[in-house]
Structure 1
Amino acid sequence: MKKQQILFIEGGGDDGYEADKDLVNSLQENLGNGYDVHYPEMPSDESAPDFGWLSQIDQEISEAENDVILVGHSLGASMLLRYLSENIVNKTIQGIFLISTPFWTGDEAWKAGLKLKSDFADRLPDKVPLFFYHSQDDEVVPFSHLDQYKQKISHATFREIQSGGHQLNNDLPWIADDIKSLNG
């Protein structure tokens, strides 16, 4: 039997790829053998406004199979939203799962390539389940960012986690359960 493909986009920072390996391992463990979590290392092109991530996300989604499940953490989650709201995706997406997602605001030049367009919510793929997860004690992305998404996206499911910090204690049973519910 063919395994369900999941594309996991890491969070940012100098050690984002290494730091998120524990999240990926937890997700794979909680999902079991019927799923295959693909975890590419994202570029760090300081000269690109989006650090080169949108191009890499485009390539990864293009190479993915139909019915792919997308998971993103932190910067990776916000970049998945940006990509999905600004591009036509020619793959069937089974679900989108976003963890500790920053809502970029402000006029700093370095944020220009990260911010969502004002109509982003209207441009997300139709009828694709969309889940947000955010810990109330996130020490990196303020919990209030989740409220920004709640105000913009009415059709998403929002999971407020009481504790676990930015990495959700590197334990993702809620996300695995929600992913499994797509086929149930």
Structure 2
Amino acid sequence: MIKQVLFVQGAGEGVHDHWDNKLVASLERELGGNYVVRYPRMPGEDNPSFSVWKSALMREFALLEDGAMLVGHSFGGTILMHALAEQPPTPRLGGLFLIAAPFIGEGGWPSDDIGGAEDFSGSLPPGLPVHLYHGIDDDEVPTAHVHFYAKAIPHAVVRTLEGRDHQFNDDMSEVAWDIRSLG
């Protein structure tokens, strides 16, 4: 049985085609033929809007089957987390994987577009496995952000990885391993 993975890109000019596509290629390679990775182009990647990206995510969620895995990189992970907390999809999800996601809220980054949240545990789908990843050498988003998420999602598995930058050195092997362990 083929399992679905939805990968939500980060924000910034050219991110879909020149940066996060390398993460997707690594994830596809590492997961193998039993998985299909959906990688939609998010609207206005160079100037993201939460409401516009959330609407795009709701359309993507409607295409998912039970057991689908959600992966969000950087600001795409932030938007994915907040969209899930506000409006979980109908299918039962297999897992949520956030990579180098900025935390919006106390200690994290401010946003005029996204409300801060100090506790996601009650608003995520019940029993949803959550994995949080952050590279120690990330120069874009401070490592402290993964710990803010860990506090807001106490059941999350947290992995801080030595020698990994914001783009995880284009190596998604740990993420793929965790996806396969749940799949």
Please say whether Structure 1 and Structure 2 have the same fold, judged by a TM-score greater than 0.5. yes
1:98-149 alpha-carbon deviations (Å, 9 max, x no partner): 100101248xxx8222344344332011111100000111011111111111
User: Could you tell me which residue of structure 1 aligns to residue 6 of structure 2?
Assistant: 7
**Cα distance in 2, alignment partners of residues 115 and 12 from structure 1:** 18
CA contact (8 A) 1:49 1:112 kept: no
Work out whether residues 7 and 38 of structure 1, in 8 Å CA contact, stay in contact via their aligned partners in 2.
yes
SS at match of 2:122: helix
Q: In the alignment, which residue of structure 2 is the partner of 1:41?
A: 41
1:132-171 equivalent positions in 2, closer than 5 A:
132-171=132-171
SS in 2 for 1:111: coil
Instruction: Using the aligned pairs only, state the percent identity.
Output: 35
Q: Structure 1 residue 178: deviation in Å?
A: 0.4
5 Å matches for 1:31-110? 31-44=31-44, 49-50=49-50, 52-105=52-105
Q: Quick one: distance in 2 between partners of 1:47 and 1:136?
A: 27
Q: Which runs of 5+ in 2 are unaligned?
A: none
Q: What is the DSSP-based 3-state SS (H/G/I as helix, E as strand, rest coil) of the residue aligned with 1:122?
A: coil
Q: Are the counterparts in 1 of residues 13 and 46 from structure 2 also a CA contact under 8 Å?
A: no
Provide the secondary structure at the position in 2 that maps to 1:93. Answer: coil
Q: State TM-score, norm by structure 1.
A: 0.90
For the 8 Å contact 1:44–1:51, the answer to whether it is kept is no
How many angstroms apart in 2 are the aligned matches of 1:162 and 1:62?
Answer: 37
Structure 1: give runs of 5+ residues left out of the alignment.
none
* CA contact 2:11–2:45 (8 Å) conserved in 1: no
1:58 Cα shift? 0.6
Could you tell me which amino acid in structure 1 is paired with residue 9 of structure 2? Answer: E
Count the aligned residue pairs: 179
Residues 45 and 171 (structure 1 numbering): CA distance in 2 closer, same or farther, change over 3 Å? closer
